[in-house]
Amino acid sequence: MTSSPAGRGRPRDERSHAAITQAAAELIVESGYAAMSIGAVAARAGVGKDTIYRRWSGKPELVYEAVFTAADTTDLPDTGTLEGDLTTVVQSLIEEFSQPEAAAAIPGLLADFAADPELRATIRSRFLQPAKERLIEVFDRAGQRGETGAEVPVDLVLDTLAGAVFFHLGIIGEQPGPDLARRLAAMIAKGIEVR
């Protein structure tokens, strides 16, 4: 989950960026995470490997952005209730984690994250933190409507929602029922509502 902050190096060409992330997502599905290479992505995207390395530190960072940032670029929901907004957010995560490229990427990414603390820090700062900061608006609106108090642990709430989706789809491989997003959102909204 995240919006894509400015990468490394010179300003990026949006067409090249889109071609690279699309090529990475396609190749993950076609060849799997382990077999996918930066060279193959560069060839499919019609760019040089240097172009990729100017924007991403390597395969894990590129794959993460290509596969797990779509939900972070959609418009923030404003349904009029915290539960409605969270349902929309969770549904976006479910859709993102349900894609074939997500299923293909998760095992390799988890292994790379476990082996590389610097990579974990990069993913947290470059992708996850901006995504969380973007969603604070949902909680600010809920507070203004009187649905929540001022001390809502937004980071923990978002981790709980994303973790539940990740566990359902990425770990146990359970296909979500049609009401999973609503049920998770209702549990969270009820748990943090003003009493």
What's residue 133's pLDDT?
86
Least confident of 46-60, 76-90, 105-119, 164-178: 164-178
Q: At what angle do helices 38-45 and 14-31 cross, to 10 degrees?
A: 130
Percent pLDDT > 70 in the chain is 93
Structure tokens that stand for 12 in this block? 């990026």
Query: Per-residue pLDDT for 9 more than 80?
Result: no
Q: Give pLDDT tens digits for 61-91.
A: 999 999 988 767 778 899 999 999 999 999 9
Q: SS3 for 36? A: coil
Distance CA(20)–CA(18), nearest Å, equals 5
For residue range 83-138, list pLDDT tens digits in order.
999 999 999 989 988 999 998 999 999 999 999 999 999 988 888 888 888 888 99
pLDDT of residue 117: 94
